Structure 1
Amino acid sequence: MQLTGRTDMAAEFVKGKNGIRCESYELYGEKITEILVSEKETALFNRPCGRYFTVDSTDVPYADGQIHALCTVLNKLLPEGKCLVTGLGNPSVASDSLGWRAAGRVLATSHFIESMHNADGIGNVSVIRTDVSANSGIDSVFHAIFCAEKIKADYIVAIDSLACSEPERLCRSIQVTDTGITPGSTTGNRNRLDRAAAGIPVIAVGVPTTMEYESDNDRFFVTRYDIDAEISRYAHIISCALNRSLCPSLSYSDISMLMNYS
């Protein structure tokens, strides 16, 4: 049994490649790696060009540090305007339920934001959670684009589980990119949720929750034994960071109270 090398993590697929613009620094106890894949390098890696940020944690992650570091990264990439947060994945599979569980804790404000007298610092946010096509018969990319068009969103934030090829990254890294995402790529889906498809920027946020192995010509995915706890923890970290970035006028205690209330 051996790893296939399949990965969604930019920090892995550009590893050891010369000429790649890569910068690493520490922030709130987390290691931040910023990678820029140019149009010229897109063909080399067979990956879309754009900016990739990775937030790497130690063996004992510190949630507050991860939240603060992720907020800083999000603030570098999130555009202005109306946001559609989209939770991707399969809610029935623990390792693929990150998008669903994180989006379920993001504060939706669009239904009352326009009637507020002073909405400064409160983002215009809508939230949906799509299901995999095997359950719904509808590609989640089409679902997200349709909703974004109907509500006239200015950009999409898509949350999903990812795959990695380095065991130390499993449930220990967060990747944020402005290149979009291909939901269900492990099952052969090729429809991308990105600016080209949606007509608006798509920011993808994900955590590697599985690794692909091969044995006797069979391929399968493995995950951590405590994946339920890890998914719960990262759903909290991602949703909290998004809430703080999208609604900066709310205090940490306000966000915590509203998240628990919802």
Structure 2
Amino acid sequence: MQIHGQPRSMKLHERHRSLSQYSPRTDLAMEAHALAKQGGRSLTGVDESHEEFDGLNVTRVRVRTKVAERRLGKRKGMYVTLEIPGLRHRDPDLQERVTKVFADELHRLLDLPKDASVLVIGLGNEHITPDALGPMVVNKLFVTRHLFHYMPEVLGDGKGYRSISAVSPGVLGLTGIETSEIVRGIVERIKPDAVIAIDALASRSLTRVNATIQLSDTGIQPGAGVGNNRKALDKESLGIPVIAVGVPTVVDAATIANDAIELLMSQLREQVPGNAASALFDQLGTGEKWHLIREVLDPMGNNLVVTPKEVDDFMDDVAFVVAKGLNVALHPAMTMDDANLVTH
């Protein structure tokens, strides 16, 4: 067998296509953990727990060691993932439950005094729908920093409300400025006690697109979801805690194609045992198959990703849920009814 005119062994050696390098793109820690454990491989330094609620599942992954950090490709810290399969069906009752769980999890990660100030950063390009989560959430937030300064009567005695400011810094291609530079300048000027960064992510499963929310205390790399990583926003770079909130909005096209071919070959093996096509396919290792498919889909090395055609509606719904959850979590005095009024 030859690939592009070169012997298979030579080509695979040149590209280092091995099982250990099988790494479908994912920003979800729970998916990275599952991939690391494939084939019965052991992995220490990671704790994972699961909790089920009515209509949603919560998975908590804590990366404890540098070795686990390298194996997973995820920084040390806590990752909380909410899986809500029904979130894309516009169920108001489910959205209400998700908002409460999300707000509780964020409150635990944030762990700030009631009078602490928070800066919310909406990362992404508002002109590209799957990458517009950050700006969409910021547009729906109840910001209060200016009210404390200019309209304190709106907040009554101010107790139970935090000073919240928010900004969508855009992307490097539109501003010519690194997002980290913009955020660092704002932080130095207004001196918040913490930063919450909102960004679109990538999953390895279409079922999790716009139906999953991940929170972490490790910071974030702007553009990670579309494979365009910039300088990280984290405690080391900003000097204050940085909570990352992300929703997967895209899936790597090579991962989808790989899963589809694996399913097809599995059916072929059952229905036509010993057929030449599946036998030939089985000669390739897991990493070899995935890299070969990726090469076919991305011959020029582009990052080809896929998003559902209903992405506009999905994004609006999930941005509302995230913004409402933020409003409830950031303002201790805010009830769910209050959040319904101010989340727009």
Shared fold, TM over 0.5: yes
What amino acid sits opposite 1:110 in the alignment?
Answer: R
State whether structure 2 residue 81 is matched by structure 1 residue 54: yes
Cα offsets for 1:153-173 (capped at 9, x unmatched): 110000010001122211111
Q: Is the 8 A contact 1:4 1:212 kept in 2?
A: no
Q: Which moved more, 1:115-124 or 1:231-240?
A: 115-124
Paired AA for residue 10 in structure 1: A
Where does residue 318 of structure 2 map in the other structure? Answer: 234
Of the structure 1 ranges 48-57 and 77-86, higher mean CA displacement relative to structure 2 is found in: 77-86
2:60 maps to a residue whose letter is E
- Give the corresponding residue for 1:109: 144
Answer with 146-155 or 111-120: which moved more.
111-120
Kept after mapping to 2: 8 A contact 1:22/1:33: yes
CA distance, structure 2, for counterparts of residue 187 and residue 140 of structure 1? 16
CA distance in 1, matches of 2:87, 2:196: 27
1:184 aligned onto 2:223: yes
Cα displacement string for residues 39-91 of structure 1 (whole angstroms, at most 9, x for unaligned residues): 33212223210000000012455211211111111111113211000100000
Q: Take 2:322 and 2:103, find their aligned partners in 1: how far apart are those partners?
A: 9
Between the aligned residues of both structures, percent identity stands at: 29
Q: 2:99: which partner in 1?
A: 67
- Residue of structure 1 aligned with 2:49, choices 23, 34, 51: 23
- The 8 Å contact of residues 30 and 69 in structure 1, kept in 2 or not, is answered as no
Q: Is the 8 A contact 1:158 1:204 kept in 2?
A: yes
Partner residue, 2:184: 145
Gaps of 5+ in 1: none
Give secondary structure in 1 for the equivalent of 2:119: strand
Is 1:119 the counterpart of 2:119 in the alignment?
Answer: no
Query: Does the aligned pair in 1 maintain the 2:30–2:61 contact within 8 Å?
Result: yes
What letter corresponds to residue 75 of structure 1 in structure 2?
A: H
Is the contact made by 2:50 and 2:60 (CA closer than 8 Å) also made in structure 1?
A: yes
Dislocated runs of 4+, deviation >6 Å: none
1:199 aligns with 2:239: yes
Q: TM-score, normalised by structure 1?
A: 0.92
2:304 is paired with a residue whose SS is strand
- Give the CA deviation at 1:132: 0.6
Q: Please, which of 117, 128, 132 is the counterpart of residue 97 of structure 1?
A: 132
Give the paired residue count.
Answer: 258
Q: How many Å separate the matches in 2 of 1:82 and 1:69?
A: 22
What TM-score do the two structures reach when normalised by structure 2?
0.71
Report the structure, 1 or 2, having the larger strand content.
1
Deviations 1:116-158 (A, max 9, x none): 6622211111111110100110111221121112101110000
